[in-house]
Amino acid sequence: MKILSVNAGSSSLKFQMYEMPEEKVLISGLFERIGIGNSFYTIKLNGEKIKKEANLIDHGDAVKILCDELIQNNVIKSLDEIEAVGHRMVHGGSDYPNSTIIDEDVLKVVEGLVDLAPIHVPANLIGVRAFQELIPNAKAVAVFDTSFHQTLPKEAYLYAVPYEWYEKYGVRKYGFHGTSHKFVAQRMNEILGKNDTKLITCHIGSGGSVSAILNGKCIDTSLGFTPNAGIMMGTRSGDIDYAIIPFIMEKTGMTFAEVDNILNRKSGLAGMSGVGSDLRDVEQAISDGDEQAKLAFDMYVRHIVEYIAKYYVLLGGCDAIVMTAGCGENSSYMREKICERLSVLGVELDSSANDMRGLERKVSTDNSKIPVWVIPTDEEVMIARDTYNLVS
């Protein structure tokens, strides 16, 4: 069965096509800068990576080119060969503890969640509609980032606000990056050879989150009602005192929308460092002696360590700490500084293993009281698995 896994971002569209259930990748690619000019895409096929420029006004253009590339590269002879398309959906609210086949009722529920993730949900919906138009016979499946976190106990997902806010308006912690946390947790359990585990998984990319996973189920996570909670991120502030918002509005005359935009798009590493949101640029600035960049980096590491320590206590110990996503997988400097601060828990870094890149590996020594692993995440294969299980 041929299945497309799709991850539509605000200005990007990432995809992989699988032959299932073998999980054989037939083709993959990424469309970038959709709707913002100088757009292009890359296709990876048979080990070869090809980059092409394209005029991508919206996600519909990307989907059309994607379908053309599938046929031109002889991956398929007809679009009818694609039996299902699995879509990464950032938000499912409390309605979907599992992935589900998409129909109009599902889309209406997701449309009602736009206010909770205004950057991501509209892009997800555009991606679904574009594929429905071009491949109407393929079943569509929604794989929600929030689903994995629906196992949080009530004491963990509720906020200490009037209870009617939860009853009437759904004010609660939802959590995100669930597909990634689920993948690396399952893989870590395979490595450990058991399922009764206490894991702390760290998805550290442009967005970031830390999760506490007990016996395969998430019991707490750092992202909350929106993706702007928890640790400091590339452009997001993470946790702040809510009173800062009206204070800045009064001092500057900015509207709530303007302050909210700054907290989502101009804070975090970008706002603190003055360099940008890319950790590679911040690390380069540090090596050049930039003290402001060093301060931003130290704050970044501290936030991550604070959540790891918090979840260590919550879990009553830890069988493994997992690092994944762009920064978690690729920044040896960040992992080094995190492990230094965790030495009080008996964490000991293996410098030679830590300096390697792009591989699944243990980066702690055999003497480390808590093993620390790098496991490259694979959200696309998780989407493909859920899609195949639902439609086959």
Q: How confident is the model over 356-380, as a mean pLDDT?
A: 94
Answer whether residue 38 shows pLDDT above 80.
Answer: yes
Residue 211 has pLDDT above 80, yes or no: yes
Give percent of the chain above pLDDT 90: 80
d(CA 6, CA 140): 10
Q: What is the per-residue pLDDT across 212-240, written as a single tens digit (0 to 9) for each?
A: 999 999 999 999 998 899 999 999 999 99
pLDDT band at 242, cuts 50/70/90?
A: very high
Query: What pLDDT score was predicted for residue 237?
Result: 96
**CB-side exposure of 238: number of CA atoms within 13 Å?**
26
> Residue 11 pLDDT more than 80?
no
Q: What pLDDT sits at residue 258? A: 97
Output the pLDDT for position 256. Answer: 96
Instruction: Name which of 55, 56, 30 is nearest 43 in CA terms.
Output: 30
Predicted pLDDT at 13: 87
Confidence of residue 358 (pLDDT cuts 50, 70, 90): confident
CA pair distance 330, 363, nearest whole angstrom: 12
Q: Which fold has domain 193-374?
A: Nucleotidyltransferase; domain 5 (3.30.420)
Highest-scoring range by mean pLDDT, 28-37, 43-52, 367-376 = 367-376
Look at residue 119 and tell me whether its pLDDT is greater than 80: no
Q: What is the pLDDT of residues 264-300, one digit of tens each?
A: 989 999 999 999 888 989 999 999 999 999 999 999 9
Q: Would you place residue 309 in the very low, low, confident or very high pLDDT band (cuts 50, 70, 90)?
A: very high
Q: What mean pLDDT do residues 147-168 have?
A: 96
Give the amino acid at 239. D
Give the mean model confidence (pLDDT) for residues 8-29: 90
Choose the weakest-confidence range: 123-127, 161-165, 381-385.
123-127
Residues 6+ away with beta carbon under 8 Å from 34: 11, 12, 13, 56, 57, 58, 59, 61, 62
Topology of the domain covering 2-144 = Nucleotidyltransferase; domain 5 (3.30.420)
- Indicate if 145 belongs to the active site: yes
Domain with CATH 3.30.420.40 in the chain: 2-144, 193-374
Q: What is the distance between the alpha carbons of residues 92 and 103, in angstroms, rounded to a whole number?
A: 14
pLDDT at residue 227 in the model? 87
| Predicted local distance difference test score (pLDDT) of residue 37 | 82
| 86: confidence class by pLDDT, cuts 50, 70, 90 | very high
Q: Which of 77-86, 109-118, 316-325 has the lowest mean pLDDT?
A: 109-118
Give the Cα separation of 240 and 247 in Å (integer). Answer: 13
What is the pLDDT averaged over residues 49-75?
92
User: 157 in the Ramachandran plot: left (φ > 0), alpha (ψ -120 to 50) or beta?
Assistant: alpha
Task: Out of 61, 80, 115, 145, pick the active-site residue.
Answer: 145
Segment 75-80 shows an average pLDDT of 92
Bridge partner residues of 52 (DSSP): 41
Distances (CA, A) of 78 to 87, 110, 139: 21, 30, 16
Of 126, 136, 160, whose CA–CA distance to 56 is shortest? Answer: 126
* E strand or H helix at 340: helix 332-341
Residues in a beta bridge with 8: 13
CA-nearest of 97, 130, 131 to 3 is 131
Does residue 127 surpass a pLDDT of 90?
Answer: no
pLDDT at residue 107 in the model: 93
Q: List, edge to edge, every strand of the sheet that includes 24-32.
A: 48-53, 40-45, 24-32, 13-19, 2-8, 82-89, 139-144, 100-101
What's the length of the chain?
392
Average pLDDT over residues 258-268: 94
Residues with Cβ within 8 Å of 4's Cβ and at least 6 positions away in sequence, in order, are 15, 16, 17, 18, 82, 84, 85, 86, 131, 138
Task: Give the helix/strand (H/E) hosting 165.
Answer: helix 163-169
Question: Does residue 120 register a pLDDT over 90?
Answer: no
Region 371-388 average pLDDT: 95
Q: What does pLDDT average to over the chain?
A: 93
Distance CA 189, CA 197 (A): 7
Q: Which of 276-280, 356-360, 365-369 ranks highest by mean pLDDT?
A: 365-369
Enumerate residues 6+ apart whose C-beta is below 8 A from 16: 4, 5, 25, 27, 28, 29, 380, 381, 384
The answer to whether the Cα torsion of 158, 162, 165, 167 is positive or negative is positive
For 289, residues 6+ apart whose C-beta sits below 8 A from its C-beta are none
- The reported pLDDT for the residue numbered 194 is 96
Q: How many CA atoms lie within 13 A of 366 on its CB side?
A: 0
